[in-house]
Amino acid sequence: MTVLYEVRDRAALITLNRPRYRNAQNSAMTYALDDAFTRAVDDPGVAVIVLAGAGDHFSAGHDIGTPERDADESFTRRAAQWWDHTDKAGADRRMARELEVYLGMCRRWREIPKPSIAMVQGACVAGGLMLAWVCDLIVAADDAFFADPVLRMGIPGVEYFAHPWVAGPRFAREMLFTGDRFSAQRAYEVGMVNRVVPRERLADETFALAGRIATMPPFGLALAKRAVNLCEDQMGLRAGMDSVFGLHHVAHAHNAETSADSLGGMDAAAMKKAAR
């Protein structure tokens, strides 16, 4: 199973379960994750959602090269912002898929009415950032590291472009312009994560926080979450994200015309080699 689900007290623990591939996100995982979020929202016994990654890493991002990469497969669409991508070509194909499995899904998860906490260890890279950022809070282990290195592909950031809102404009530029990794402590300093804890205490600290939140009135929590999301949107998050999604696809189209593929010829091995 690509995603595991269990309930601990009043917290639903949703675990990305492709540790062999550092929890790289193929479509099967993405749709299973959507099912798990829906299950947690519909369960009246769940007050808080904890999102975790199995193994040493939270998530190394989108699956761009494992044997189980399934970008050409069709799934029952939930975000449904565009038509199915599998019988389309060119920019239509790329945009249709990414509106569904990346931007559309992430927006659904950000807007669910129950508070969510990302419990992050090891790598949280590119698409991994998107999964952490849709959560309301982030608790990071002291071994966690973060990066959005997709500028190496000639692409101006991941599809769910929340960088200036979650880390501030200046650090967002540094993150994007260098593609370098940054530590959990640095992420805490710029306000991107809420807490940094020893690796061996990560689960205990995260579930203690979830338990504290779970004592609050559920409707009040839902309204407070919606209030903050609405304020972020008034600060330009949603409109900015829509605009940058267009730039993201200009970059894909440019790469497709001028290089080996829509990723600028940068496969998973090349990206890993360039990481620092």
- The pLDDT of residue 192 is 98
Provide mean pLDDT across the span 27-55: 96
| pLDDT exceeds 90 at position 48 | yes
- C-alpha dist (Å) from residue 96 to 65, 85, 203: 20, 5, 37
Spatial distance between the Cα atoms of 188 and 203, rounded to a whole number of angstroms? 18
- Average pLDDT of the chain to the nearest whole number: 92
Q: Residue 203 and residue 123: Cα distance in Å, rounded?
A: 16
What confidence score (pLDDT) does residue 219 get?
98
**For position 84, what pLDDT does the model report?**
78
Which residue do the tokens 């449904």 mark? 80
Residue 76: what pLDDT?
Answer: 79
Residue 274 above 70 pLDDT?
no
Question: 224 burial class (0-12, 13-18, 19+ CB within 10 angstroms)?
Answer: middle
| 227-234: average pLDDT | 98
The strand pairing partners of 13, in sequence order, are 6, 50
Q: What is the mean predicted confidence (pLDDT) over 245-261?
A: 86
Q: Which of 77, 132, 134, 78 is nearest to 107 (CA)?
A: 134
pLDDT of residue 64: 82
- Extract the tokens encoding 221: 């929590």
Q: How far is CA 140 from CA 9, 129, 205, 226, in A?
A: 22, 12, 10, 24
pLDDT tens for 139-176 read: 999 999 999 999 998 999 999 999 999 999 999 999 99
Mean pLDDT over 249-267 rounds to 82
Residue 23's pLDDT band (cuts 50, 70, 90): very high
For residues 105 and 25, what is the distance between their CA atoms, to the nearest angstrom? 12
d(CA 185, CA 191): 10
Q: What is the DSSP letter of 54?
A: S
Q: How many other C-beta atoms can be found within 10 angstroms of the C-beta atom of residue 227?
A: 10
Report d(CA 255, CA 247) in Å as an integer. Answer: 12
Instruction: Give pLDDT, residue 276.
Output: 65
Give the lowest-confidence range in 74-83, 104-113, 170-179, 214-223.
Answer: 74-83
116 in helix, strand or coil?
strand
Q: Name the band, by pLDDT with cuts 50, 70 and 90, for residue 11.
A: very high
pLDDT in tens, 98-142: 888 899 999 999 999 999 999 999 999 999 999 999 999 999 999
pLDDT of res. 231: 98
Residue 275 in this model has a pLDDT that exceeds 70 = no
Share of the chain above pLDDT 70, in %: 97
Bridge partners, 146 (sequence order):
124, 182
